[in-house]
A = this chain, B = another copy of it.
Amino acid sequence: MRNIKLVIEYDGTAYSGWQSQDNSVGIQEIIEKAIRKTTGEKVKLIGSGRTDAKVHAKGQVANFFTNSNIPGDRFVYALNIKLPYDIQIIESEEVDLDFHSRFSAKRKRYRYVIYNGKILRPLYRNFSYHVGRTLDIEEMKKTMDYFIGEKDFESFMGRKSIVHTTVREIYDMEIIQNDEFIEIVFEGKSFLKNMIRIIVGTLVFVGIGRIKSEDVEKIIKARKRSLAGPTAPPQGLFLEKVYYD
């Protein structure tokens, strides 16, 4: 038995997310099928975490166990010819049997891309959130500091989510402006369901003046979803990298 680690890039536009849903297929299932066609084995692919429908990844990590004798680094090529062009393996390697994509992860980096021009841009429509109104970036940067650190993020959790604790730690955040693109980078060990999208929605509300920067501390303390901003749409979100020891 061998343990294979995959690094995966995907354009999430066409999928229900990492996991399959009732009526649409997930990225995990597509890759499991490619592995089955390659090794003949029905495997369970363990992802570092779920991504929502239409969310993208430049460096999702997953692992699976196999008895095949395909060298670890060859799975890139063996699987890619069986995968659609919107899901491709960018790295593969054999790892220790105790490596677990989710439990072994030390840190994850996400990037959320806002396009802040007047007109929606066709070339970026699936890869950014179009905000037509002027954003006060300085206010958003100031607000960002309230989110960094270990906090109870219950106000920023998607509904119908069951977790042991809503405490999470954001190690770092950064807001980068490139012309009309505003990118918000998040690093943390793990995140609640929709947490990044709700933080982005809240930051956008601060940027347009619908939430005051100084009220964000109260919103965090209140642990009440209804006080935070809306859930920003999925297509602006990219899982960039998962870090391991």
Query: Is A34 on the interface with B (CB-CB < 8 A)?
Result: no
Quote the shortest CB–CB distance from A116 to chain B (angstroms).
15
Cβ-neighbour of A85 out of B86, B89, B120 (below 8 A): B120
Quote the shortest CB–CB distance from A60 to chain B (angstroms).
11
Query: Is A90 on the interface with B (CB-CB < 8 A)?
Result: yes
Question: Is there an interface contact between A88 and B11, defined as CB atoms closer than 8 Å?
Answer: no
Q: State how many residues of chain A have any CB contact under 8 Å with chain B.
A: 20
Quote the shortest CB–CB distance from A160 to chain B (angstroms).
29
Query: Is A106 on the interface with B (CB-CB < 8 A)?
Result: no
Interface centre among A11, A119, A122, A123 (most CB of B within 10 A): A122
Per-position binary interface string of chain A over residues 75-97, scored 1 when its CB falls under 8 Å from any chain B CB and 0 otherwise:
01000100001111110000000
Query: Is A10 on the interface with B (CB-CB < 8 A)?
Result: yes
Residue of B nearest to A125 (CB): B85
A76 — which chain B residues lie within 8 A by C-beta?
A: 119
Query: Is A9 on the interface with B (CB-CB < 8 A)?
Result: yes
Question: Is there an interface contact between B85 and A11, defined as CB atoms closer than 8 Å?
Answer: no
A45-96 with Cβ < 8 A to chain B: 56, 58, 76, 80, 85-90
Question: Is there an interface contact between A80 and B123, defined as CB atoms closer than 8 Å?
Answer: no
Residue of B nearest to A120 (CB): B88
Cβ-neighbour of A122 out of B87, B119, B120, B123 (below 8 A): B87
When chains A and B are docked, how far (Å) is the Cα of A66 from the Cα of B87? Answer: 46
When chains A and B are docked, how far (Å) is the Cα of A123 from the Cα of B86? Answer: 7
Cβ-neighbour of A123 out of B9, B119, B121, B125 (below 8 A): B9
Quote the shortest CB–CB distance from A9 to chain B (angstroms).
5
